[in-house]
């Protein structure tokens, strides 16, 4: 793992920047993850509403459950992606983002 972090840090040092590139990228990724998380929550609510209005129809209930499962999986993926991105940015900037 240290080799990967060291390689990424070396790669980051070779990129010409104005000193704000990491902060700008962090902001962009934050907005993307917020939008994706909000979409996942919207689909979760949509699946719940589908389930409620299915009125016991097995086909509609199964479709609603599938929608909710996919929404939860999507939300987990967004959370993991945000965590991994934060760790990589922290490793590349040696914890200097936002200070």
User: What gap in Å lies between CA 66 and CA 37, rounded to an integer?
Assistant: 18
Whole-structure pTM value: 0.67
pLDDT of residue 40: 94
Residue 92 has pLDDT above 70, yes or no: yes
pLDDT of residue 58: 92
Residue 47 has pLDDT above 70, yes or no: yes
> What is the domain range of residue 36?
2-9+21-93
Is there a domain that residue 15 lies in? no
Is there a domain that residue 98 lies in? no
Mean pLDDT to the nearest integer, 78-98 = 80
Is there a domain that residue 73 lies in? yes
Is there a domain that residue 14 lies in? no
Token output for 33: 């993850």
User: What gap in Å lies between CA 91 and CA 4, rounded to an integer?
Assistant: 10
Number of domains in the chain: 1
Residue 79 has pLDDT above 80, yes or no: yes
> 30-60 burial by CB neighbour count: b if 16+ within 10 A, else e?
eeebeebeeebeebbeebeebbeebeeeeee
């Amino acid at each position: 793992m240290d080799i990967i972090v060291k390689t990424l840090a070396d790669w980051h040092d070779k990129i010409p920047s104005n000193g704000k590139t990491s902060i700008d990228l962090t902001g962009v990724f934050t907005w993307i993850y917020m939008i994706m998380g909000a979409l996942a929550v919207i689909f979760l609510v949509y699946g719940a509403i589908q389930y409620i209005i299915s009125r016991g129809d097995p086909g509609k209930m199964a479709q609603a459950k599938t929608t909710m499962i996919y929404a939860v999986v999507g939300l987990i993926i967004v959370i993991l992606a945000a965590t991994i991105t934060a760790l990589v940015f922290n490793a590349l900037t040696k914890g200097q983002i936002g200070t």
